Amino acid sequence: MKQPLAYIHPEAKIASNVVIEPFVTIDKNVVIGEGTHIGSNVTIMEGARIGKNCKIFPGAVISAVPQDLKFKGEDTLAIIGDNTTLRECVTVNRGTASKGSTSIGDNCLVMAYCHVAHDCVVGNNVIMSNVTQLAGEVVVGDWAVIGGGTMIHQFTHVGPHVMIQGGSKVNKDIPPFVKAAREPISYCGINSVGLRRRGFTNEQIRDIQEIYRYIYLSRMNTSMAIEHIEAEMPATKERDEILLFVRNSPRGIMKGYFE
- Is 136 tagged catalytic? yes
What letter does residue 35 receive in the DSSP assignment? T
Write down the catalytic residue from 82, 105, 118, 159.
118
CB neighbourhood size of 67 (10 A):
13
* Cα 97–Cα 101–Cα 102 angle in degrees, nearest 5: 125
SS3 43: strand
- Is 189 tagged catalytic? no
How far apart CA 255 and CA 259 sit, in angstroms, is: 6
Write the CB contacts of 112 (distance below 8 Å, at least 6 apart in sequence): 57, 87, 88, 89, 90, 130, 131
Write down the catalytic residue from 27, 82, 106, 119.
119
* Cα 11 to the center of its chain, rounded Å: 30
SS3 content of the chain, % helix, strand, coil (to 5): 15, 30, 55
Q: Is 163 left (phi over 0), alpha (psi -120 to 50) or beta?
A: beta
- Is 75 tagged catalytic? no
What are the catalytic residues? Answer: 118-119, 136
